[in-house]
Amino acid sequence: MIKTFLCIFLSLGFILIFETACSATTDSTSIRKPDYQIHMDQPVREIKYIMYEKNFMPIKGEISEDKKSVILKELEPGHKVRLKVMYEDGRTKEILKSPCYIDPVIL
């Protein structure tokens, strides 16, 4: 009786350890979407908005360190993007970019 109880107890322990190990490796190896960038004609001061052209869903974005590109976070590639930026000289410009002109960020 004690051997049966011990066997069941150890089996459950190993199953719990295995499940914990599997879930930990799944979280640490999750694949992050690559960032994309749109090159600008001149330095950008501010991003007014960034969205998909087709459904107007917003896109997360930021200005690059050299202020010559807009970095798009979590972009679904293959879609046109509409953005409005304010340049360093104070002018604002609305831009529509096709997927051909949206480049991946290479580190």
pLDDT for the residue 5: 57
Same domain (yes/no): 85, 69: yes
pLDDT in tens, the chain (107 residues): 666 655 565 565 556 565 655 554 444 556 777 899 999 999 999 999 999 999 999 999 999 999 999 999 989 999 999 999 999 999 999 999 999 999 999 87
With vertex at residue 29, the alpha carbon angle to CA 26 and CA 31, rounded to the nearest 5 degrees, is 115
pLDDT for the residue 25: 47
Overall number of domains in the chain = 2
pLDDT for the residue 80: 96
Sheet holding 81-87, edge to edge: 44-52, 81-87, 92-97
Same domain (yes/no): 71, 54: yes
Same domain (yes/no): 44, 25: no
Same domain (yes/no): 49, 75: yes
Same domain (yes/no): 44, 24: no
Helices (H) and strands (E) in the chain, counts: 1, 7
Domain span at 4: 1-30
The pTM assigned to this predicted structure is 0.68
**CATH code (residue 95):** 2.60.40
Same domain (yes/no): 44, 5: no
